Structure 1
Amino acid sequence: MKALVTGGAGFIGANLAITLERKGAKVIVLDDFSSGDYRNLVGFKSDVVAESIKEVDLKRFKDVDAIFHQAAITDTTVRDQKLMMQVNVEGFRRILEFAVRLGIPFIYASSAGTYGNISGPQKEEMAGHPVNIYGFSKWICDNIAKEYMQKTDSLIIGLRYFNVFGPREAHKGKMASMIWQLANQMKARQRPRIFKWGEQKRDQVYVKDVVHANLLALKAKRNGIVNIGSGQATTFNKIIRVLNKVLGTKLEPEYIDNPYVGFYQDHTQADLTLAQQIINYSPQWEFEEAVKDYMKEVGFVEN
């Protein structure tokens, strides 16, 4: 198989590109390196095209067998609405139109940000209440995808990612997962800092499950947009308990005020019923085992 992975120097894109290559696929990474990092692709043996999804000549990808569209501005603190919409929506529309025109299977990254502050478990039909421009851009992409699904037989699958964590996210800085940020604090023997009182719940899904979902999507029974998460809601207090166990530390959390009241998701939890029906997805990693695997991969604990 020959696959195109847009955003392939980013966190999820790089994990996906490298996994595809290890499985024998010929992979082309498309990334403008505005937020991705070359270090994520160290060891990658296939091709990299360093251009923007808004401008690249798509005809050069006319012979690919699948497109995995991960490219986007993912920093939810970006306030430039025009930039966010041009990259996330118009870039998406351009590549989707190309894929449909040539009948190329199109698997793309949506987001749980489309749900906004609706309490979990979140079902796909509950989306449409974003609280920031990032979530709004992803919601519009979903709406565009739905229109195309109604008028084409070409495969289109949207994967609504929840809170993804795992190797190759370090370059994201403040946008990296709470698991990564708290692990770094605790590795430095600092008390982990979380918002009062640590009982906010998030669906934390390991990146290896997300990659698996992308591969399953190629065999989807029908087109659709589905949740990709762990199906469990994990409190920040539990994250710290698990990290203490895995890292061999005994650090108590430091609780701080939440400056994002009204714009903060207190409870995310993916309802996976539709994902199981359409792409046969079920998470393979339990949270503590995923954290152990992650900390081994980044060298925080010995194998």
Structure 2
Amino acid sequence: MKILVTGGAGFIGSNLVFTLAERGHKITVVDNLTSGNKKNLKNFKDRFIEDDVSKPAVIEELKKEKFDIIFHEAANTDTTFKNDEEMFRANVDGYKNILSIADISRSAVVYASSAATYGRGKSPMNEDQKPDPLNAYAVSKKMMDDITKEEIKRGTFPIIGLRYFNVYGPRESFKGKSSSMIYQLYLQMKAGKRPRIFKYGEQKRDFIYVKDVVSANIMAMEKTLKGESGIFNVGTARAESFNKLVQELNKNLGTNYNPEYFDNPYGFYQNVTEADMMLSEKNLGFRTEYDIEKGIADYVKYLINCG
């Protein structure tokens, strides 16, 4: 198939790109390299376009082609980003542009939504509960989901949105401060420092390994190609504490660091995220392969091998 992947030099996008390439698909990657990096696409053989899908010029070029499916991973994912207008331009306008391509070519679309839309909502978080976005990034993802619901009503082309919970794994290093807590704690501990976490490490997140996220995207692709649409959670249905992360990293690094606790400076913080995965299991057939123990073990092995 002919596939477009936006944000394909980024963390999740690049992992997805190589899985699709292994399956023999013809892939076009578009990435402006703001948080992605071409090093994530080392040995990628297909077409790469360095551009921003929130801007018209590249969209007009892409409209001349016919893609079977579009994976939209491009986004500003910095939850502390100060310019709300720019956040909405990058994320919401970029998504509208992608849908305009799909509208012309009748491409199926799979896009990255986020568990940030749930805010401080009750856990486990299910797809039907009222959104509670706490920052501009979360609002932008809610806006994308709202647009999706209207497009699904139109029924012009199939769309599936995937609400990622807390993703970690290979190829995230170029995200900088937006990289996962697991990666940032790993770097601290590998450098011989105590891991710094908010007091008192009891906050919980649904941490999902990127290999499972790629699997969810592939399953979503298969459903869209059958004409199915919807918005689904992508998590593990298990919330793990920050203290647990330190415990697992110690185990895999052969260290024995105690956390250094400090005050949480963020007023918009989600203290708990946990996915209700019933709808995803039922409609996508998605179940995770990696729990936190297996995921961190695999990831640490990868990081050590990469030097």
Q: Residues 183-205 of structure 1, C-alpha deviation per residue, up to 9 Å, x if partnerless?
A: 11111111111001101000000
Superposed displacement of residue 127, structure 1: 4.3
Question: What is residue 22 of structure 1 aligned with on the other side?
Answer: 22
Which of 159, 164, 176 is residue 161 of structure 1 equivalent to? 164
Mapping of residues 52-201 of structure 1, within 5 Å? 52-53=52-53, 54-55=55-56, 56-60=58-62, 62-201=65-204
Q: 1:2 to 1:111 in 2, by over 3 A?
A: same
Q: Percent identity?
A: 48
How many pairs were matched up?
301
Q: Is the 8 A contact 2:67 2:105 kept in 1?
A: no
TM superposition score normalised by structure 2: 0.94
Q: Residues 79-120 of structure 1, C-alpha deviation per residue, up to 9 Å, x if partnerless?
A: 111111111001101111321332111000000110111131
Question: What is residue 304 of structure 2 aligned with on the other side?
Answer: 299
Q: 1:294 to 1:187 in 2, by over 3 A?
A: same
Superposed displacement of residue 57, structure 1: 3.3
Query: What is the identity, as a one-letter code, of the residue corresponding to 2:243?
Result: N
Q: Is the 8 A contact 1:295 1:301 kept in 2?
A: no
Query: What is the identity, as a one-letter code, of the residue corresponding to 1:15?
Result: N
Q: Distance in 2 between matches of 1:146 and 1:194?
A: 37
Query: What is the identity, as a one-letter code, of the residue corresponding to 1:236?
Result: F
Q: Residues 273-297 of structure 1, C-alpha deviation per residue, up to 9 Å, x if partnerless?
A: 1111221111111111111111111
Contiguous gaps of at least 5 residues in structure 1:
none
TM superposition score normalised by structure 1: 0.96
Question: What is residue 258 of structure 2 aligned with on the other side?
Answer: 252
Q: Is the 8 A contact 1:100 1:152 kept in 2?
A: no
Question: What is residue 265 of structure 1 aligned with on the other side?
Answer: 270
Q: Which runs of 4+ in 1 moved over 6 A?
A: none
Q: Distance in 2 between matches of 1:278 and 1:253?
A: 40
Q: 1:44 to 1:301 in 2, by over 3 A?
A: closer
**Local SS of the residue matching 1:107:** strand
Query: What is the identity, as a one-letter code, of the residue corresponding to 2:291?
Result: E
Q: Distance in 2 between matches of 1:153 and 1:73?
A: 27
**Local SS of the residue matching 2:272:** coil
**Local SS of the residue matching 2:97:** helix
Question: What is residue 274 of structure 1 aligned with on the other side?
Answer: 279
Q: 1:153 to 1:57 in 2, by over 3 A?
A: closer
More displaced stretch, 52-61 vs 211-220: 52-61
Q: Does 1:287 align with 2:292?
A: yes
Superposed displacement of residue 300, structure 1: 5.9
Q: Residues 149-188 of structure 1, C-alpha deviation per residue, up to 9 Å, x if partnerless?
A: 0111521000000000000111111111110001111111
Q: 1:295 to 1:97 in 2, by over 3 A?
A: same
Q: 1:216 to 1:58 in 2, by over 3 A?
A: farther
Question: What is residue 235 of structure 1 aligned with on the other side?
Answer: 241
Q: Distance in 2 between matches of 1:145 and 1:13?
A: 20
